[in-house]
Structure 1
Amino acid sequence: MIDVLVVDDDFMVAGIHARFVERIPGFVVAGTARTGAEALQMCADLAPGLLLLDVHLPDMSGLDVLQALRSSGSTVGVVMVTAERDAEAVSAALHGGAMQYLVKPFEFDDFAARMQRVHEALTTLAHGAPDQAAIDRAFGGHTAAATSLPKGLSPESARLVEKALTEVPELSAADCGERVGLSRVSARRYLEHFVDRGLATVRLNYGNAGRPERRYRSTRQ
């Protein structure tokens, strides 16, 4: 689980963001801060894995908070969540090492997709020396599995299905759907796409009765 500190001067907005975080597997809210100084102190006290950081705070800019964290040697993950659209602010966040920049207002699905990418990046780097595909995911790039997708398939879901494939020896479409939150039919579309691209293989598992089950295995194992 990744501990998240929500930093926003509007307590109602902070509450909404905290509830969003709690809905996403792999994250838990460690606390909320309403000022930059409070955010820095709570970072020191709680050592969260991720900050949801607004730019506009009453005592200092969220970008100043980000700079102070980096100057102190902190490598905490940071997602900017703000109404600020200025190009200089976006550039400062990028060069300060922010992992995502999400402009208010936004829908939960957009927020969840970005948080899933952040979770994948942080957990990938916590498990030893990553391969090139894992490094690409950590830097937010598209892997071969998530490119040239058929119509109706999303890169975010493709990355989740690809990750599920590498975590177990093999799985069915139903297994995959349960792991990543997709229907069996949708999961099978992604899995068959990976088979077509040579990123997965499929075998038929003949049971006692009924149609054989299709079992998928990553070719990267």
Structure 2
Amino acid sequence: MIGVLIVDDDFMVARVHAGFVTALDGFEVVGTAASGADALAAVDRLAPDLVLLDVYLPDMTGLDVLRRLRAAGSSVDVMVISAARDVDSIRSALHGGVLHYLVKPFDRRAFEERMRHYARVRADLDVLDQAAQADVDRVFAGARGTAAAPVATPKGIAPETLELVRTALGEAGADGLSASECSERTGLARVSARRYLEQLVAQGEADVRQRYGSAGRPERRFTLRSAR
């Protein structure tokens, strides 16, 4: 199993990324960290194979974390996942030996493709002794990889938050969730939860039905299609 440490100060985002990782065969989440200091301590304590590193952290940047890791001699593999798009950040990431740089928001398929490329590179290196040029080319091509084009979502719909709602809906099973219940499970405002649930319906991933009680207005319940 490839051990993954997730570094992000937003607990909701970290939870989504953890769900992505856990769903992939051959990967496991060994820990999370919400600050640069926590990340450095976690790398030392948990010895992960891969760090998913955000740039924007409360005490230092993720790039500072990367520099400190390299200065300490750590060879842990790092993938940056951040909203930082400036050239200096990208250049610093390259100099620090980052394998991939994934810009938020991103599509889940882009994330999974990069993770699978990473797993293939590790597998290739594990079986090689002396590498021919063709082996080197294959390894470097696999490390860089290519991502599928992101799936467009309507304005105001963040892919990561949509995945959070999708996960909550899947965990609810065949009974589904109301907007209020989804709000409680995800921490989103009720209005936002309903908007994301309706987006899943619009995408054909969820169904909505009316459930009538003994009194009052009927309740709209949303069900993930794969859970039915």
Q: What band does the TM-score fall into relative to the shorter chain? A: 0.5 to 0.7
Residue of structure 1 equivalent to 2:39: 39
Residue of structure 1 equivalent to 2:3: 3
Matched, 1:56 2:56: yes
Q: Give the aligned residue type for 1:122.
A: R
* Residues 10 and 34 in structure 2, CA contact (< 8 A), matched pair in contact too: yes
Residue of structure 2 equivalent to 1:98: 98
* Residues 117 and 140 in structure 1, CA contact (< 8 A), matched pair in contact too: no
Residue of structure 1 equivalent to 2:118: 118
Compare relative contact order (CA 8 Å, sep 6+) and give the higher one, 1 or 2. 2
Residue of structure 1 equivalent to 2:67: 67
Please state whether the residue corresponding to 2:102 is helix, strand or coil: strand
RMSD: 2.1
Query: Matched residues in 1 for 2:24 and 2:132: separation?
Result: 26
Shift of 1:25: 1.5
Query: Matched residues in 2 for 1:123 and 1:99: separation?
Result: 15
Please state whether the residue corresponding to 1:40 is helix, strand or coil: helix
Query: Matched residues in 2 for 1:35 and 1:13: separation?
Result: 14
Query: Matched residues in 1 for 2:60 and 2:132: separation?
Result: 39
Shift of 1:133: 3.4
Q: Give the aligned residue type for 2:48.
A: P
Shift of 1:123: 2.5
Matched, 1:140 2:141: yes
Please state whether the residue corresponding to 1:79 is helix, strand or coil: strand
Query: Matched residues in 1 for 2:147 and 2:12: separation?
Result: 29
Query: Matched residues in 2 for 1:68 and 1:110: separation?
Result: 28
Q: 1:139 to 1:15 in 2, by over 3 A?
A: same
Runs of 4+ residues over 6 Å off in structure 1: none
Please state whether the residue corresponding to 1:20 is helix, strand or coil: helix
CA offsets 1:16-58 (integer angstroms, 9 cap, x no match): 0010011112211101000010011010011000000000000
Q: Give the aligned residue type for 1:28.
A: E
Query: Matched residues in 1 for 2:74 and 2:141: separation?
Result: 21
Mind listing any 5+ residue stretches in structure 2 that lack a counterpart?
149-228
Aligned residues, how many? 146
* Residues 120 and 142 in structure 2, CA contact (< 8 A), matched pair in contact too: no
* Residues 8 and 34 in structure 2, CA contact (< 8 A), matched pair in contact too: yes
* Residues 53 and 82 in structure 1, CA contact (< 8 A), matched pair in contact too: yes
Superposed counterparts of 1:168-207, under 5 Å:
none
Please state whether the residue corresponding to 1:69 is helix, strand or coil: helix
Shift of 1:156: 7.7
Please state whether the residue corresponding to 2:127 is helix, strand or coil: coil
* Residues 80 and 102 in structure 2, CA contact (< 8 A), matched pair in contact too: yes
Mind listing any 5+ residue stretches in structure 1 that lack a counterpart?
147-154, 158-221
* Residues 2 and 26 in structure 2, CA contact (< 8 A), matched pair in contact too: yes
